Amino acid sequence: MKRLPIILGGIFISLLILLLPPLIHTTYGQDLLVKNGKVVTLGKKGTIEGGDVLIEKGRIKKIGKGLRAPEGVRVIDASEMWVIPGIIDTHTHIGVEGGVNEGSNSVTSEVRIIDVIWPENISIFYALTGGCTTCNTMHGSANTIGGQNVVIKNKWGVSADELIYHRAPKELKFALGENVKQSNFPRVSGQPRYPTTRMGVEALLRKKFTEARAYMKKWDDYNKQKKAGKNPIPPRRDLQLDVLVELLQGKVRAQVHCYRADEILMMLKVAEEYGFKISSLEHVLEGYKVADAIAAHGASCSTFADSWGYKMEAFDAIPYNSALLAEAGVNITINSDSGERIRRLFQDAAKCVKFGGMSEEDALKTVTINSAKCLGIDKWVGSIEEGKDGDLAIFNTNPLSAYTRCEMTIIEGKVYFDRKAYQEEMEKLREEAKKKEEKKEKS
Amino acid sequence: MGIKAYISVFLGGLLIIAGSLGAGESLQKAEVYAITNATIVPVTAPIIEKGTVVISRGRIIAVGAEVEIPQEANVIDAQGMYVYPAMINSCTILGLYEIGSVRATLDSSETGKFNPDVRVAAAINHESVHIPITRSVGIALALVAPRGGTISGQSALIRLEGWNWSEMLVKSPVGLHISFPQVRARRRAAEEEDEEAISKAIQELKDYFTGARHYMERKEGAAKDASLTAPPVDMKFEAMIPALKGELPVIVSVTTSEAIKEAIKFVEEMKLKAIFHGVSEGWKVVDELKKADIPVILSSLYGTPREWKDGYDAPYRNAGILCQAGIKVVFSTGDAALANNLPYHAAKAAAFGLPKEEALKGVTIYPAQIFGVDKDYGSIEVGKVANIIVTDGCPLEITTQVRHVLIDGKPVDLSNKHTELYEKYRKKK
């Protein structure tokens, strides 16, 4: 009976831990009603002309027509505007303090972006100005295994911790090809870093996964013995292999930077040999050449709309890549990989219509719901559906038009970018600066 | 020679005659085109509904709603479609660039500070994969400009069709390109550090021009007065003479507001005919640019502002502000691999304050004007070279499909490396 308080306490603490994330979540969410827009839900409700979206405590409560705002709830008039789900960028390096590559070693699975989030990076704000609400911020492609990425919401003005989207599953970045081989920049003096060929990249991957398997077995044996009541010595912990084991166990998503068809196939085969799944192939510019194999594996593809020719491995890139992959049944998304291009992903999406004739709705999906699927967060973001996060982007016209302009970006019911308000504020700042200048001249 | 041989020679001769007759007929037919039933946007004149453009021997011979179609014409029925002048990309490295990371494929930047005698024309690889790709979105002409150093060399205007660089030349040289010394750093501290080096570099540039002017004067003096000796021939200074005389414009690449002001001072002091290129902070020095009456070739709008205070949309608003002040603005991409994105840069400016018609002019008639080829290019007018596109919508829209591109009055092949790979792998199941 003496143990009861401890047990009760334990239950209480575990309940608290279980309940805490949603509690934190709702704390930041707000109420909002967006009225009378052309709402492109990209979900079950299709497109609603003159539609309303009611957001309550950060989540979409209701979608329809003629919705009324509860008392005190802010109403945004979206007449003549297009309302789409907040854009999601599956491949960026924004909001990272310092370098994104721990380039001293080709395998650095132990390093984590989450430890170096830089909330004051202006790219986060720029992303908002292009309707982007969520992005996957990643390690670079210098290493075969680069480290652990993190998904953030572009809540400009909050702390590093509050930027992180805790619902997103854990991810690990891999890279293949020229960057890993260090082909395109002068080698630092001394010995070249292994690997310097695509052969070496495959060999290194297989070596590491073999080690990871052995390490996993050591822990399994240890756990078994412990369970059997024995008192075994625990294996020495290896942070680099820990995450690879989690990958083998299906707890971590593998995101693989790749270009050429050969290396794409190699990676799929290595994954299949060691029994893990590639969740997404990044860039994957020659993906269209092995679309069937990618579709069979079930990996998403996160590609560029039309960037190409900047290096040898990008010379067979075609802007039809997304259309061909989509036709093969692959979940396809367009990424920015840039703190500048992130402001105009909707225009890159439009290129899917031009090259290969994707429908406008499918094109918009490449930067919203498909991206959410790619990151494993489609239960919560990526389309305008009841119960999902209240993440919206509002444009003055069709977001696929070259003449379009993002007017407002909303995350979890809170307006983080409002073009009109922004312009007014900038005008005020300019006037203040002018006055200061005049004062200086007078004195 | 036996009788059989005679017969075969005779038959062969007949075949040749028949063949050449056929060829002659088709040649004639190949030279006359009529694009009918189209909404014609001539750019320099009002839009014509259900109009026809007639093209003969490379030039436009008739435009209008009530135009007779010559019997020998190849008819392109453009029912429900639009006809625009083909676009002009006002600054690229097309033909000088193939693969960014492969040095052997790059010819855009010569080494050294002063290379006025360097000309792009003969270095243009007409087989560059980027040329047909650029052409396929409706771009018919491109300025190919050198980069690097302080005086980079002489640019050329090319048509994106031809069997060799010589055939592709529309005009060469078009300008003497100067990469104006300016801060490249985005951090304030580094900028201050740079300042001294920059004013020194500007002085060096001025000295170079002054040196060239002295050379020219000595040469001219010796030509007039036999008692004076001409200077030994200097190919670099020789290349400067047309610019010094104001016959060849200097095209000055400059971006920051401080550098633009310095560059204006420079071209005025040196009495040069100038076009500015880049000019992303032009909106900060509108009055100065207007007063100097300098046209502007904007480079890629896809940049972020140097300072947050400029506003996130400063690169987008720039064109509209310049245009409102009466400064002629044209668009360019600067690169080769994405030279086909030209129309979207112009549209971006239109989304942020530039009138749509001005955006279209900035990729058609305005560049023709600033490069001095508007007599022949830039709009759909009788007498002009038939560089024409047939589209299913506004050519500045990303989703628009370009159905036909005519260069010098002939439809060009719209297939390219991208379409070929697409077709090849589409068949793979």
- Per residue in A297-352, pLDDT (tens digit) is 999 999 999 999 999 999 999 999 999 999 999 999 999 999 999 999 999 999 99
A418 touches chain B (CB under 8 A): no
pLDDT of residue A186: 65
Chain A nearest C-alpha distance from B257 (Å): 17
- The single residue listed with the structure tokens 């007065």 is B225
Its ipTM equals 0.91
Q: Which residues of B touch A343 (CB under 8 A)?
A: 304, 312
Q: Do B255 and B249 touch, CB atoms closer than 8 A? A: no
Contacts of residue A259, defined as CB under 8 A and 6 or more positions apart, other chains included, come to: A176, A177, A178, A283, A284, A285, A286, A313, A314, A317
pLDDT for the residue B329: 97
Q: E strand or H helix at A332, and its extent? A: strand A332-334
Confirm if B89 and B342 have CB atoms less than 8 A apart: yes
Strands A332-334 and A392-395, by their bridges, are unpaired
Question: Are A279 and A251 spatial neighbours (Cβ–Cβ below 8 Å)?
Answer: no
Contact A312 B102 (CB under 8 A): yes
> Which pLDDT does position B183 carry in this prediction?
83
Running DSSP on this structure, what letter comes out for residue A186?
Answer: P
A27-86+384-443 and A87-381 agree in CATH topology? no
A131 — alpha (psi -120 to 50), left (phi > 0) or beta? left
- Residues of A whose CB is below 8 A from B341: 306
For residues A171 and A154, what is the distance between their CA atoms, to the nearest angstrom? Answer: 19
CB contact under 8 A, A126 and B344: no
**Contact at CB, B344 and A122, closer than 8 angstroms:** no
Closest approach of A249 to chain B, Cα-based (Å): 33
Nearest CA-CA distance, residue A343 and chain B, Å: 9
CB-CB neighbors (< 8 A) of A318 in chain B? 417-418, 421-422
Q: How far is A404 from chain B (nearest CA, A)?
A: 6
Do A113 and A172 contact (CB within 8 A), yes or no? Answer: no
SS3 A41: coil
pLDDT of the residue at B23 = 44
Is residue B411 reached through a cis peptide bond, with omega within 30 degrees of 0 on the bond before it?
A: no
Q: What is the per-residue pLDDT for A94?
A: 97
Among chain B residues, CA nearest to A288: B425
Token pair belonging to B267: 């071209």
Chain A residues 213-232 with a CB less than 8 Å from chain B:
none
CA distance A426 to chain B (A): 7
**Phi, psi of A81, deg, nearest 5:** -110, 165
Q: What is the pLDDT of residue A191?
A: 77
Per-residue HEC secondary structure of chain B comes to CCHHHHHHHHHHHHHHHHHHHHHHHHHHHHCEEEEEEEEECCCCCCCEEEEEEEEECCEEEEEECCCCCCCCCEEEECCCCEEEECEEEEEECCCCECCCCCHHHECCECCCCECCCCECHHHCCCCCCHHHHHHCCCEEEEEECCECCCEEEECEEEECCCCCHHHHEEECCCCEEEECCCCCCCCHHHHHHHHHHHHHHHHHHHHHHHHHHHHHHHHHHHHHCCCCCCCCCCHHHHHHHHHHCCCCCEEEEECCHHHHHHHHHHHHHCCCCEEEEECCCHHHHHHHHHHHCCCEEECCCCCCCCCHHHCCCHHHHHHHHHHHCCCCEEECCCCCCCHHHHHHHHHHHHHCCCCHHHHHHCCCHHHHHHCCCCCCCCCCCCCCECCEEEECCCCCCCCCCEEEEEECCEECCCCCHHHHHHHHHHCCC
Contacts of B424 in chain A (CB under 8 A): none
Q: Is A333 helix (H, G, I), strand (E, B) or coil?
A: strand
**The predicted structure's pLDDT at residue B101:** 94
CATH architecture classification, A87-381: Alpha-Beta Barrel (3.20)
User: How far is it, in rounded angstroms, from Cα B321 to Cα B332?
Assistant: 17
**CB < 8 Å to A289, chain B:** 425, 428
Q: Is the CB of B398 less than 8 angstroms away from the CB of A307?
A: no
Tell me if A126 and B304 make a contact (CB, 8 A cut-off): yes
| Amino acid letter, A146 | G
* Inter-residue contact B147 to B123 (CB < 8 Å): no
Are A402 and B348 in contact (CB < 8 Å)? yes
d(CA B186, CA A5) in angstroms, rounded, equals: 61
**Which chain B residues are closer than 8 Å to A316 by Cβ?**
421
Q: Are A404 and A397 in contact (CB under 8 A)?
A: yes
* CA dihedral sign, ordered A343, A346, A349, A350: negative
- In degrees to the nearest 10, what's the CA dihedral of B268, B274, B278, B281? 40
* Helical axes B257-269 vs B188-224, angle rounded to 10°: 10
Chain B touched by A336 (CB under 8 Å): no
Tokens (6 digits) for B109: 């930047």
- Which domains does chain B possess? 20-85+378-412 (2.30.40.10), 87-377 (3.20.20.140)
Q: What distance in Å separates residue B114's CA from the closest CA in chain A?
A: 27
Task: For chain A, list residues with pLDDT below 70.
Answer: 1-2, 13-28, 186-190
Measure the CA–CA gap between B2 and A438, rounded to whole angstroms. Answer: 106
Domains of chain A: which residue ranges?
Answer: 27-86+384-443, 87-381
CA–CA separation, B387 vs B379, rounded Å?
8
Indicate which of B307, B310, B399, B414 best probes the interface with A, i.e. most A CBs within 10 Å of its own CB: B399
- Residue B159 sits at φ, ψ, to 5 deg, of -90, 145
Look at the block and give the residue holding tokens 């093969």: A328
CA-nearest residue to A322 within chain B is B422
Alpha-carbon gap, residue A443 to A248, rounded angstroms? 71
Query: Considering CB atoms only, which of B102, B418, B428 is closest to A319?
Result: B418
A429 part of contact set with chain B, CB < 8 Å:
yes
Q: Does A350 touch chain B (CB under 8 A)?
A: yes
- E strands of A42-181, at which residues? 47-56, 59-64, 75-77, 82-85, 87-92, 132-137, 145-153, 171-175
Tell me how many residue pairs between chain A and chain B have CB atoms under 8 A apart: 111
User: Can you give the pLDDT at residue B88?
Assistant: 98
Residues of B with CB under 8 A from a CB of A: 98-102, 129-130, 302-304, 308-309, 311-313, 336-338, 340-341, 343-344, 347-348, 350-352, 356, 396-401, 417-419, 421-422, 425-426, 428-429
Pick the residue of A308, A398, A424 with the most B CBs within 10 A to test the interface with B by mutation. A308
What does the pLDDT look like over A263-312, one tens digit per residue?
A: 999 999 999 999 999 999 999 999 999 999 999 999 999 999 999 999 99
C-alpha B90/C-alpha B177 separation (Å) is: 13
Residues 388-407 of A with CB under 8 A from B: 400-405
Q: B290 near B279, Cβ under 8 Å?
A: no
CATH classification number, A27-86+384-443, choose in 2.30.40.10, 1.10.3480.10, 2.120.10.30, 3.20.20.140: 2.30.40.10
Give the pLDDT of chain B (429 residues) as one tens digit per residue. Answer: 455 555 555 555 444 444 444 444 444 567 899 999 999 999 999 999 999 999 999 999 999 999 999 999 999 999 999 999 999 999 999 999 999 999 999 999 999 999 999 999 999 999 999 999 999 999 999 999 999 999 999 999 999 999 999 999 999 999 999 999 998 755 556 666 678 889 999 999 999 999 999 999 999 999 999 999 999 999 999 999 999 999 999 999 999 999 999 999 999 999 999 999 999 999 999 999 999 999 999 999 999 998 888 999 999 999 999 999 999 999 999 999 999 999 999 999 999 999 999 999 999 999 999 999 999 999 999 999 999 999 999 999 999 999 999 999 999 999 999 999 999 999 986
Q: Of how many residues is chain B composed?
A: 429
pLDDT at position B185 is 52
Q: Which residues of B touch A400 (CB under 8 A)?
A: 398-399
